[in-house]
Amino acid sequence: MRLAMLGPPGAGKGTQARMLAQEFGIPQISTGDLLREAARRHSATGLEAKRYMERGLLVPDELVLKIVTERMKEDDAAKGFILDGFPRTQTQAQALDEILSSKNQKLRRVMVLEVSDEVIIKRICGRRVCKNCGAMYHVIFDPPRNADLCNQCNGELYQREDDNEDTVRMRLEQYALDIKPLLQYYEKKGILARIDASGPIADVQRLVMTAVEGEVKSA
Ligand code: ADP
Ligand code: AMP
């Protein structure tokens, strides 16, 4: 099963993609995580990507495509994956279709999480991420049992450098520029599901599962 999760920064893509990954036993492929990991390793790609990420701008398509194509070739992705934060431009969407169709594969469902800017700012400013396993928390909406420590692995929690109000506003502007043509692209293919992501995590999870299962039954 090949799925993609779209939506503004902080909408809950990673939270929901992680849940789907556990449910279906396929990996979550987050381009944001891949780029941050490349930057941490100081690879040439990572260092170049960092210049865009810290300003809240999109990383050039070519770099993102390189990194995500490599990841999709790994063994654990053979049976499927959940793309998280990718594609973000029409060029990326078309390139993804080409990669998949060369293997006789296609995306089964593209979900877009919809939520207001006001809620996004609250979600992003309270986000904490585990340095060790990548699990996500929120200081108010999904707090860890022990402040600053991951429930799952006891790893240290940190706040992302780009999770501040100024960068978030930039990221939201960037999102607004790119999302319309992307949604039209998937709407035309008949695989887009719009999800109201304004409710609590468990409510959004139910809507996401319904969207995925609806597609599975009719496929
Ligand atoms: P994205 O991957 O879209 O950037 P995340 O999944 O990292 O978003 O979620 C952003 C923050 O909001 C995290 O701190 C997460 O715990 C929290 N969060 C995610 N979904 C919800 C929700 N439905 N209600 C409240 N908080 C949420
Ligand atoms: P995210 O972790 O999804 O919030 O992404 C963090 C940052 O990584 C974004 O603000 C972009 O700079 C970059 N990024 C992640 N995914 C993509 C993508 N598909 N295309 C371009 N830039 C991306």
CA-nearest residue for atom 19, ligand 1, is 12
For residue 64, report the distance from its CA to the centre of ligand 2, in Å: 8
Give pLDDT tens digits for 2-54.
999 999 999 999 999 999 999 999 999 999 999 999 999 999 999 999 999 99
Atom of ligand 2 nearest to the CA of 53: 12
Residue 36 appears among annotated catalytic residues: no
Q: Of 36, 71, 123, 171, which residue is the catalytic one?
A: 171
Q: Of 2, 13, 50, 123, which residue is the catalytic one?
A: 13
Amino acid present at 4: A
Sequence-distant (≥ 6) Cβ neighbours of residue 45 within 8 angstroms: 38, 63, 66, 67
Residue 127 appears among annotated catalytic residues: yes
Pocket of ligand 2 contains residue 50 by CB under 6 Å: no
Backbone conformation region of residue 10, classed left if phi is above 0, alpha if psi is from -120 to 50, else beta: left
For residue 66, report the distance from its CA to the centre of ligand 2, in Å: 14
- In the chain, list all ranges with CATH 3.40.50.300: 2-115+165-218
The answer on pLDDT for 216 being more than 90 is no
Give pLDDT tens digits for 68-101.
999 999 999 999 999 999 999 999 999 999 999 9
Q: How far apart are alpha carbons 188 and 42 in whole angstroms?
A: 40
* Sheet order of strands, 127-130 included: 136-138, 127-130, 157-158
Regarding the domain delimited by 2-115+165-218, which CATH topology (the fold level of the hierarchy) does it fall under? Rossmann fold (3.40.50)
